[in-house]
Structure 1
Amino acid sequence: MKTIRYYMAPQSPWTWLGHERLIAIAKRHGAEIDLRPADLNRVFPVSGGLPLAKRAPQRQAYRLVELERWSKFLGVPLNLHPKFFPVAGDDAARLIVAAREAAGDEAGLKLAGALLRAVWVEERDIADAGTLRAIAGECGLDFAALEGAREAAARIYDRNTQDAIDAKVFGAPWYEYRGEPFWGQDRLDFLDRALAAG
């Protein structure tokens, strides 16, 4: 079975731009997606990266140009200045982990997509417990049950983060197929070709 390892963060606009395309590519090649939400706040310091607020003004400005360019090119809606951003993504990431553990990869991916859309399209606060409860319900998930698995999900989230660091991940989204890394949604065409060749 072909497997794509998918390191992601639910508050990342680049992850949002690539999420549904990744799922479509995986389906086309009969590949499974190993969904691994990871904590970028722990990944950045060991990989030379900086949180957005600490980046130079010219880098922050160009990021907006690229986000708008890609959003238009892909036809994927994206609010460049969402109401709830920056936003802490840890609780949302742990909820994705819990959903995957409880209901499988497809449920985890569906919830991840809904949380990404919540930030970048719907002006919703994914750091708010009420919002997380509502989005889980919209995805057909039992929020109370997922919350009950919070400690186990936190351990897996920590492990995902350490695995990301060990795999030399430095940003999100990050895809890995047969040991080959692909950083960013703009590398999905290369991943597609690698899957076709595999």
Structure 2
Amino acid sequence: MTEKEQDLILTHLTLVESLIYQVGYQKGVVGMEFEDLYQIGCIALCKAAAHYRPDRGATFKTYACRVIRNMLQDHREHASYIQNRLCYLDSPLSSDEGESYLDIIHDSQEPDAYLSEKELLELLNRAKSNYNGITKKGIEAIALKYQGYSNAEIANLYHVKANHISAWISRARSRLKADYPLTDLCYS
């Protein structure tokens, strides 16, 4: 930056703060806190100083205000867009229920919370009878993992490498996705 541009920036730095208050910042909204907006505003001020042309008839203050306000508003729209698409794990699923997404994840990680070991093994055995080959071996491996066996221990039982067990389980999981009661159980 030239000295003239640096002088313009330093003399008009207060514009950034005043425009942040006009545009509005929101604590707790990703990217919309004061510090975030101040950085965006300073970048916009530098951009205004670099592109300012006095021969176009506007004062630097007028031009800089427009550039800063536009960048802050663009950022606000983008932050709003992102915020609306975020899913917070601790937020409630609906106003009637006290359950959150975190509760669902916790439950899906521990199938014994809603199925006994006997019920789970029965479901896996029933599903195993519908498949053959690698998928069948993968279902058997899922059952063994649920019973506490490690991949290495299961590999020793089948006389294969441990990475084969991971591949078998992966294939079984993808095939079992269509079998609704087992869908969540495959990810334990």
Structure 2 length-normalised TM: 0.24
Q: Which protein is richer in helix relative to its size? A: 2
Larger RCO (alpha carbons 8 Å, 6+ apart): 1
Q: Which protein is richer in strand relative to its size? A: 1
